[in-house]
A and B are shown apart, each in its own frame.
Chain A
């Protein structure tokens, strides 16, 4: 056999981008399970729909860009984006929401910027922000978790009914009967009540919040699994959660009747999903460990600021996109101190 000439190293770890993506997908399973348990089949249907369309858009883009379609489809990155979109939108949102979402994410936010590895913004969050701004009604109508529905649970529990709701349209009485605001919205639009009064009066909070805590716990489980498998490091999630916790504690301690408590901030909305599955996106985030900490702090602070004083109750998408903008800058100023150097280099080092 003819010997080949190759550059070292001559061995490599059995490791592949698609393995990384597969681990991420596995890590979303608890959240999918929790969402299905608490909110019905909707999320699963959205997930299947999102995956199919995302792969389709990905294939079309790769074909148009004259890239080997199968080779790149196998990297699984489109699937991850699709799953994140599907699990972020309301489970019974109409089908076109998710299709527009995957189109925005895959075609506009990813391939128009040069495909995998070159997108400056997190594709799923670009899609989410676009949907939230364009279709505020559809994007904020979550059905009530089953703990609130009692006997009516059966209406949303049937897989067939779920399909009908998503692909045709939910009739208005169903919407009125079974959908409601999310806890963050309830807390935000409280019409003059104190935090305590809202909690006492609103079933979304005093009963339904446990469903949200359950989902957050599921995301947290997935995140810890990925840290354990060394898919990403603890830096960004930890610093984001700590920042959010500290800020919300500070304001809650100062004025408990007007501000939500820290556990609400950590436990409801997309906080946990963002911390472990969005803020850790390596492509659009900061790259060094120090940079990731700063990135996480920025996301945590922005989430709190936008949730508390902004007009959108869930702020995760905007916080991420704003911090994506700063990532290259953070990278320039957070180089680690290399071996044998007294201090870390700063700036770009270019002539620019």
Chain B
């Protein structure tokens, strides 16, 4: 028998589980529209590979995993893609997010399934790829893509595989129902995980409030040749938190900022194990899950096998909701779930429970009173923090101190707020402080980048100025050299120049003399012609002669001066 350890704190909220365990898992109705958010997991959104108007078959891949941490998406039923774009989606922010909408044709026609007959006979890489292609993500709550947790490479040696069957949140019974009714699927999935990780032991951690599930698992375990054990832990919220369950079963604490694999442990949820089995041995990608429908506003409280993308409203109708009584609609458990305002949002891979609560069941919190530091929060904190101090720091925006008090080790389980006698919404304060610190960090990162860019620009400008200066200098030097060269040349030609100039002058003078002579001769000729004097022919001849001479002198001068220029 494995020894059970303990974690700090914890609470015993009323578990409200019995209500939804009265009937076996029921097939939920096939809705006419299936809405599939591209982001149903931790990591990057999937990338659509279908277009509006395409006919898709059940199980057909409609979106690819983007990058390393991401998960593929498949059509949960056959039909036609009618819309790709923003739709209300299950997210704490209540914002819309990109979705693929399929109008189901009601035929529920399967694509040809690609099952792996013997997973041991193929390469691990191929098996992992198959799991990745099947879009398997953690069904426990966070939705971490499963293939990554199973593909740790050589730098992680896994000693212990923990199968999380604790299901510590009140109300939720999806895993409990799965264990009672389909323990074989879970154990076959565990077999596949064990084949991939080769752990030396496998521990299934389960709270002692699920005797039927414990019995079902123990009955089936005998059929498997695995070092596997069902470890029953006391019912204490949040024993199903990954870190808390690891501490319960192994006494090991996952170091702050590390992942369990760093200490040789991998944790998988029972539902995920079953999904791996279905993906591998049946060839069915992750297109459905078990969802607990509960809360006193419902006529039927039980577990449903639901197609991903089924709108909440369809399920609420199936469970005969009394809308007048429904006061709060919660996706997930009452401790960590998110409240939903719009019941058109769809079931996604992480939707384990839908609670349609009446006002008596989940009344609005009374107004907060001052913190008297009673320390009840500290006594229940599973991370051994000082919630009362963190509250003061968050409220006073003393984020350095909040950080120093390990704010980021808070898992937001809500135990502190649950016990607070002053009804202070502590978790909200911590979320605020965390996001403020993250924003501050982002701002800081930005300002560091901006400074780096500014400095780079300054450096570039300085470099450019220096280069300019350099070029200017070079030019000046070149010019000086040229000057010197020219001067030298000039010096060499100075001796010839005076003669040339004198000659030019002479030519000019000659030209002007010739022009003057020509002018006078023309005047004389004109005078003679006017007075009709004798010797006109002689004068005419002289003028012609002079014209010729003046032209010659002019040309000579012009040529000479043109040559000089």
Interface band, chain B: 35 or more
A93 → B minimal CB distance (Å):
29
Stretch from A128-136, A154-162, A248-256, A337-345 forming part of the interface with B = A337-345
**What does the 1/0 interface line of A332-352 toward B look like (CB < 8 Å)?**
000111111110010111110
Pick the contact of A339 from B357, B384, B389, B412 — CB < 8 Å? B384
Knowing A11-B418, A339-B409, A348-B404, the reply to whether A3 touches B378 (Cβ < 8 A) is no
Task: List B278-333 residues whose CB lies under 8 Å from chain A.
Answer: 323-330, 332
CB atoms of A335 and B405 under 8 A apart: yes
Name the residue among A10, A20, A342, A347 with the largest chain B CB count within 10 angstroms. A10
CB atoms of A8 and B335 under 8 A apart: yes
Counting CB contacts under 8 A, is B58 at the interface? Answer: no
Counting CB contacts under 8 A, is B367 at the interface? Answer: yes
Counting CB contacts under 8 A, is A288 at the interface? Answer: yes
CB atoms of B370 and A117 under 8 A apart: yes
Task: List A273-332 residues whose CB lies under 8 Å from chain B.
Answer: 282-283, 287-289, 331
The residues of A that contact B323 with a CB separation of less than 8 Å are: 1
CB atoms of B372 and A17 under 8 A apart: yes
B410 → A minimal CB distance (Å):
9
CB atoms of A6 and B404 under 8 A apart: no
Chain B binding site: helix, strand, loop or mixed by DSSP? loop
CB atoms of A339 and B8 under 8 A apart: yes
Q: How many A-B Cβ pairs are below 8 Å?
A: 185
CB atoms of A283 and B420 under 8 A apart: no
CB atoms of A8 and B336 under 8 A apart: yes
Counting CB contacts under 8 A, is A138 at the interface? Answer: no
The residues of B that contact A16 with a CB separation of less than 8 Å are: 366, 369, 421-423
The residues of B that contact A257 with a CB separation of less than 8 Å are: none
CB atoms of B386 and A336 under 8 A apart: yes
Name the residue among A6, A233, A345 with the largest chain B CB count within 10 angstroms. A6
Counting CB contacts under 8 A, is A12 at the interface? Answer: yes
CB atoms of A340 and B388 under 8 A apart: no
The residues of A that contact B332 with a CB separation of less than 8 Å are: 8
CB atoms of B335 and A9 under 8 A apart: yes
Q: Which residue of A lies closest to B335 (CB)?
A: A9
**What does the 1/0 interface line of A66-89 toward B look like (CB < 8 Å)?**
000001100101000000000000
The residues of A that contact B343 with a CB separation of less than 8 Å are: 3
CB atoms of A282 and B372 under 8 A apart: yes
Once the chains are docked, how many angstroms separate the CA of A347 from the CA of B400? 12
Name the residue among A13, A19, A115, A351 with the largest chain B CB count within 10 angstroms. A13
CB atoms of B384 and A338 under 8 A apart: yes
A67 → B minimal CB distance (Å):
10
Counting CB contacts under 8 A, is A116 at the interface? Answer: yes
Pick the contact of A4 from B328, B335, B386 — CB < 8 Å? B328
**How many chain A residues touch B (Cβ–Cβ < 8 Å)?**
49
CB atoms of B258 and A351 under 8 A apart: no
The residues of A that contact B324 with a CB separation of less than 8 Å are: 1
Pick the contact of A11 from B334, B384, B403 — CB < 8 Å? B334
Knowing A4-B339, A4-B364, the reply to whether A9 touches B334 (Cβ < 8 A) is yes
The residues of A that contact B524 with a CB separation of less than 8 Å are: none
CB atoms of B341 and A3 under 8 A apart: yes
The residues of A that contact B357 with a CB separation of less than 8 Å are: 10
Task: List A98-138 residues whose CB lies under 8 Å from chain B.
Answer: 115-118
Counting CB contacts under 8 A, is B43 at the interface? Answer: no
CB atoms of A3 and B374 under 8 A apart: no
Q: Which residue of B lies closest to A235 (CB)?
A: B375
Counting CB contacts under 8 A, is A168 at the interface? Answer: no
Once the chains are docked, how many angstroms separate the CA of A125 from the CA of B325? 51
CB atoms of A15 and B420 under 8 A apart: yes
Q: Which residue of A lies closest to B8 (CB)?
A: A339
Once the chains are docked, how many angstroms separate the CA of A11 from the CA of B375? 19
Counting CB contacts under 8 A, is B48 at the interface? Answer: no
CB atoms of B8 and A20 under 8 A apart: no
CB atoms of B386 and A287 under 8 A apart: yes
A320 → B minimal CB distance (Å):
16
Counting CB contacts under 8 A, is A7 at the interface? Answer: yes
B77 → A minimal CB distance (Å):
28
Task: List A1-54 residues whose CB lies under 8 Å from chain B.
Answer: 1, 3-13, 15-17, 19-20
Q: Which residue of A lies closest to B374 (CB)?
A: A282
The residues of B that contact A117 with a CB separation of less than 8 Å are: 370-373
Counting CB contacts under 8 A, is B170 at the interface? Answer: yes
Knowing A5-B94, A341-B406, A350-B400, the reply to whether A10 touches B379 (Cβ < 8 A) is no
Pick the contact of B419 from A13, A118, A232 — CB < 8 Å? A13
Counting CB contacts under 8 A, is B199 at the interface? Answer: no
Counting CB contacts under 8 A, is B340 at the interface? Answer: yes
B395 → A minimal CB distance (Å):
11
Pick the contact of B243 from A5, A288, A340, A351 — CB < 8 Å? A340
Q: Which residue of A lies closest to B237 (CB)?
A: A9
The residues of B that contact A340 with a CB separation of less than 8 Å are: 243, 253-258, 383, 409
Knowing A282-B374, A288-B378, A335-B386, the reply to whether A1 touches B327 (Cβ < 8 A) is yes
Stretch from B60-68, B204-212, B425-433, B508-516 forming part of the interface with A = B425-433
Question: Taking beta carbons and an 8 Å cutoff, which residues of A are in contact with B?
Answer: 1, 3-13, 15-17, 19-20, 71-72, 75, 77, 115-118, 230-233, 282-283, 287-289, 331, 335-342, 345, 347-351
Known: A9-B427, A17-B369, A288-B378; 7 extra A-B contacts, CB below 8 A, are A3-B339, A8-B334, A9-B334, A11-B335, A72-B369, A335-B406, A339-B8
The 7 closest A-B pairs by CB, nearest first: A349-B404, A9-B414, A117-B370, A340-B256, A338-B406, A339-B383, A282-B373
